[in-house]
Amino acid sequence: MGGAIVRYAVLLEKDPDSDWGVTVPDLPGCFSAGTTLDEALEIQRILDAARRSARERRQVLIEEV
């Protein structure tokens, strides 16, 4: 496999009465949450799991433009 770097935009959300939420708009269902921003930003492990799952199913996460 190549060593290409893929960057995804993440959307950070925080309402006054809730935890932090992080979503990756380009990857439906890829989200994280945490009581602190640092916890919520552990989205990397979610992205790793999404990549492994896509590889196992022989699918592409997102098409190159």
pLDDT in tens, the chain (65 residues): 456 677 778 899 998 999 999 888 887 778 888 999 888 888 777 777 777 777 777 766 655 44
The answer to whether the beta carbons of residues 21 and 12 sit under 8 Å apart is yes
Q: What is the pLDDT of residue 7?
A: 79
pLDDT of res. 61: 61
Q: Report if residue 5 sits inside a domain.
A: no
Count: domains in the chain: 1
Q: Looking at the domain assignment, is residue 47 inside a domain?
A: yes
| Residue at 34 is within a domain | yes
pLDDT of residue 65: 41
In a domain, 27, yes or no: yes
Is 35 within a domain?
yes
What residues make up the domain containing 46? 11-56
Say what the pLDDT of residue 30 is: 81
Q: List CB contacts of 20: < 8 A, sequence separation 6 or more.
A: 12, 13, 14, 33, 34, 35, 36, 37, 39, 40
Does residue 3 belong to any structural domain of this protein? Answer: no
- The answer, as to whether pTM is greater than 0.85, is no
30 contacts 24 by C-beta, under 8 angstroms: yes
Residue 64 lies in a domain: no
Alpha helices in 10-63 (DSSP H): 37-40, 43-56
